[in-house]
Amino acid sequence: METAQDDAVVAALRADNQPVTEMAVVSSVTVGGPAHKLLLPGDLVSSVDGRPTDDAAAVSRLIRAHKVDEKVTFGVIRDKVPIVVQVRTAESPTQADVPVVGILLDKGYRYEPDISFDIGQKIGGPSAGLVFALAIYDKLTPGELLAGHHVAGTGSISPAGDVGSIGGVQEKIAGAEKAGATVFLVPAENCADLAGATTTMTLVKVSTLTDAISAVGHLDTPADLPKC
């Protein structure tokens, strides 16, 4: 769910042409390892030993340039605030004389808007990614995106805005119709899963967030909508 939310934020910002910078991010920290309580999951790594780092590979390479029991100086951005953290390397438990600090790295993103989610604990998984991205885009842009229409949908979302297939699409369509939706956004890859499905809703096929934004903007002219 957290990944779906993070990817939805980036996709929505990019759809609104807002600047997003890719950076290495600390995805996890080994409990009891050298970086425990010094680096935190979510820290964006901007530099190592004063050298700018563009991605996780660059961070790893600069860490390994050290010897075991040497200090590594990390420039990180935590909660949008730049800080400096020093971590002393330890020997890898699997490779002799290889320095490690006990972190895993992934691709992260830096952007200016503060975006938070308050949806409780009742849902999980990636299926809400598309709807998250649409809701964020609606908040970022002027006017009301849905213009009074009751729209539901499903689909995972990538940071690039690609909509992916999900499971249980027929059950989700039935639930949305029961809740009063009149339009349902269906991942293009799931259209083949609709054989035998019956609904009064308009089923709109989308492959990207841009498709979904365009479709929602044409709800008053349903003949123009791509359908499953």
Can you give the pLDDT at residue 223? 81
d(CA 101, CA 141): 42
Residues 98 and 176 reside in one and the same domain: no
pTM above 0.75, yes or no: yes
Mean pLDDT of 200-221: 93
CA proximity to 186, closest of 195, 172, 196 = 172
Can you give the pLDDT at residue 193? 95
For position 30, which CATH number holds? 2.30.42.10
> Can you state the angle between helices 129-140 and 2-15, rounded to 10 degrees?
40
Q: Which residues contact 175 (CB under 8 A, 6 or more apart)?
A: none
For position 170, which CATH number holds? 3.30.230.10
For residue 21, what pLDDT band results from cuts at 50, 70 and 90? very high
Backbone φ/ψ region at 38: left (φ over 0), alpha (ψ -120 to 50), beta: alpha
Residues 151 and 187 reside in one and the same domain: yes
Can you give the pLDDT at residue 121? 59
Q: Is residue 10 in a domain?
A: no
For residue 118, what pLDDT band results from cuts at 50, 70 and 90? confident
Q: Which residues contact 92 (CB under 8 A, 6 or more apart)?
A: 98, 99, 100
Domain boundary among 110, 138, 157: 110
* The token pair that represents 179 in the structure block: 């809740």
- The total of structural domains in the chain comes to 2
Residues 64 and 104 reside in one and the same domain: yes
